[in-house]
Amino acid sequence: RFTAAGDKRSARILIRIMDDEIRHVRFGTTHFIAVCEERLESPPDLWKLLVARHFRGLIKPPFNDSARHAAGLSRLSASALAI
């Protein structure tokens, strides 16, 4: 949208932020899965339990599926919890 409006600088900044967030989420996802494996827990089941316990808002689609995939999250991890 910013590029289409001629604001290339803002577009580049937002792309950089998104790339950083993908790396951060990928790191957290990898760590979460490793901890689940150590504890013999199912990552999707534990994720659902933790979200239900600690998240009070609504998880509403649409999701950026390509970014979620790049970060190591499956489509099911959010879509199973979405309203």
Token pair, residue 39, equals 């504890």
Cα(73)–Cα(41) distance, integer angstroms: 17
Specify the pLDDT at position 63.
Answer: 79
Helices (H), the chain: 8-38, 43-54, 65-70, 75-79
Please write the tens of the pLDDT for every residue from 29-56: 899 999 999 999 998 889 888 888 988 8
Band of residue 6 on the pLDDT scale cut at 50, 70, 90: confident
Specify the pLDDT at position 79.
Answer: 59
Cα(70)–Cα(67) distance, integer angstroms: 5
Cα(41)–Cα(34) distance, integer angstroms: 10
Average pLDDT, the chain: 85
Specify the pLDDT at position 16.
Answer: 96
Average confidence (pLDDT) over 1-15: 89
Average confidence (pLDDT) over 3-19: 91
Are 25 and 73 a contacting pair, CB within 8 Å? yes
